[in-house]
Chains A and B, each alone.
Chain A
Amino acid sequence: MSTLSTEPRLPDPDGFYALVMEAHRGLDEAASRALDARLVLILANHIGDAEVLAEAIALARRAGEEEA
């Protein structure tokens, strides 16, 4: 059974963050939302594991609720 990894894994976190910010630059809200959706779809397909994805979705929801 595969599980979602929540350990830090990105070799260059600042670099990754900058790449995403760069991709959003100059986009209006709708275009940004579209970009994020495409990005999630591409990554989800790359992961390809239903359980990991379900855990990731649950974690994302939880993290949002904890904040509220």
Chain B
Amino acid sequence: MAARFAPPRYASPPPRHPGGEEAARLVVAGGGLVGLTVALDLARRGVDVVLLDEDDTVSTGSRAICFAKRTLEIYGRLGLGARFLEKGVTWNRGRVFHGEREAYAFDLLPEQGHEYPAFVNLQQYYAEAWLVEACAATGRVDLRWRHKVTGIENRPDGARLAVETPQGAYTLHAEWLLACDGARSFLRESLGLPFVGQVFRDRFLIADVVMQADFPTERWFWFDPPFHPGQSVLLHKQPDDVSRIDFQLGWEADPEAEKDPARVRARVAAMLGPKIPFELEWVSVYTFRCRRMERFRHGRTLFLGDAAHQVSPFGARGGNGGVQDADNLAWRLAAVLTGEAGEALLEGYEAERIPAADENILNSTRSTDFITPKNPAARAWREAVLQLARRHAFARPLVNSGRLSRPWSGQVAAPDAPVLREGQAEWLLRHIGHDGRFTLIAREATPPALPGVTALMLADTPRPGTLHDHSGLAAARLGLAPGEAALFRPDQILAGRAPAADRAALAALHAKALAR
């Protein structure tokens, strides 16, 4: 049996000035997946971060398990990509069952020539533990475990936080505050900021089950299976022989009674059959919600992740969406703090991440509506779709067991592609944003030198000092004709394209991306 994860216990530092006051340039409140990601990104950009978390360990239970390609690319930029690939379970096939039978199978068809696959399954606690290590290694993140925020006063010059620790309380004045304290955000609630949306009248039992069964590494979703009639079930494989099983229970279910291990064991046994021994690692019962804050920025306090928006897990859009918030905000904030850009640059965070959150909410709401039909008509329609899907390809796109996380459709993230550098195999994306800067790529042309911008030449034939596009995939995916250039922001998002010779146009794109 594979080694199991042992949750780390992090030391809780004593307050610097017990009972007194302290000031910090930037405070991240909440060291979950999103808080740790934004702290690491900022630290790598040279910003000192104080990170407060009320707990002294990582996430309990697997929670976010599906890490999408874009998230993996972000972790690639942050130096953790290889760990996700090594430890995570890569998958791209899904099967949908209806009743006793398979309705159909799908392939997320990852085209060749990308460093990262469509999805990797990994328990959230691994991701968080690696992020903590990486934050510590920068020497710029002051990790304060069991420092709980118990009060906030939001002011034009920052936030005054009341912090409690086992060794006394203190006041922390944060010039900038990143609120990453999760779906039940204390900061959001103390500031009286509304969090509006809908609750789905259904309950789900989520179990992490340790077993050695020969299930393929695929996503299996059942509508109305014989072992759990009238409801749906989802099975997903994670590392360490852990499988995640979600049982839909219905609104009438009693959440406490459902958590009874004997009851859970009976459900799992009915599913797996008598021959597969298993152990329960973690069990929880959820009611899902989709909601968001009206604004993510309130002066010098900015909300990220579940604190700002919450989705139902079908589609794996919660953690992935939150990591993309961090990716979007970190470079902006670093540019503002170093004086490279003005505060106007922060407006882009809301302009991009609010519609992105809406897109995630829309998709996960539609999935949840399909999985939990609200009335007899919805149930009849779903049955009709599932029946037709068995034999008719046209009905399959209508089956919605989760629309898996994709980057926001309102912008273009830099594509990956295989390239050669001095004859060595490399990935295109590793040359975009990995140095923390803007990147200008010109095809078959020398890009102009712009201050603060890394310039690269993409060559159709091998040439020293260039990236050789030996397969032609890089130019095709970048959409670059010879003589054209593309400018990418530090978060690998396309700022625009222009002729490589048009220095003024490229400089204008750069200035615009920096809200100058």
Contacts and interface: CB of A to CB of B under 8 A. Distances in A.
Interface residues of B, number: 12
Query: Secondary structure at chain A's binding surface: helix, strand, loop or mixed?
Result: helix
Interface stretch (B153-161, B328-336, B380-388): B380-388
A37 B385 CA distance: 8
Contact of A34 (B380, B394, B395, B398): B380
6 interchain residue pairs of minimum CB distance: A37-B384, A38-B384, A45-B394, A33-B380, A37-B381, A37-B380
Contacts of A38: 384, 387-388
B3 interface: no
B1 interface: no
Contacts of B383: 34, 37
A58 interface: no
Contacts of B380: 30, 33-34, 37
Contacts of B388: 38, 41-42
The residue among B381, B385, B387 with the most chain A CB atoms within 10 A of its own CB is B381
17 contacts: A30-B380, A33-B376, A34-B380, A34-B383, A34-B384, A34-B387, A37-B380, A37-B381, A38-B384, A38-B387, A41-B381, A41-B384, A41-B385, A41-B388, A41-B395, A41-B398, A45-B394
* Interface residue range, chain A: under 10
Given A34-B380, A38-B384, 14 more contacts: A30-B380, A33-B376, A33-B377, A34-B384, A34-B387, A37-B380, A37-B384, A38-B387, A38-B388, A41-B381, A41-B384, A41-B388, A42-B388, A45-B394
Contacts of B384: 34, 37-38, 41
A34 B381 CA distance: 7
Interface string B383-424: 111011000001100100000000000000000000000000
Query: Secondary structure at chain B's binding surface: helix, strand, loop or mixed?
Result: helix
B344 to A, nearest CB: 38
Interface in B343-393: 376-377, 380-381, 383-385, 387-388
A34 B380 CA distance: 6
Nearest to B381: A37
A60 to B, nearest CB: 13
A33 B380 CA distance: 7
The residue among A33, A34, A41 with the most chain B CB atoms within 10 A of its own CB is A41
Contacts of B381: 37, 41
A38 B386 CA distance: 10
B380 to A, nearest CB: 5
Contacts of A45: 394-395
Contacts of A42: 388
Interface string A21-52: 00000000010011001100110010000000
Nearest to A33: B380
A18 B380 CA distance: 24
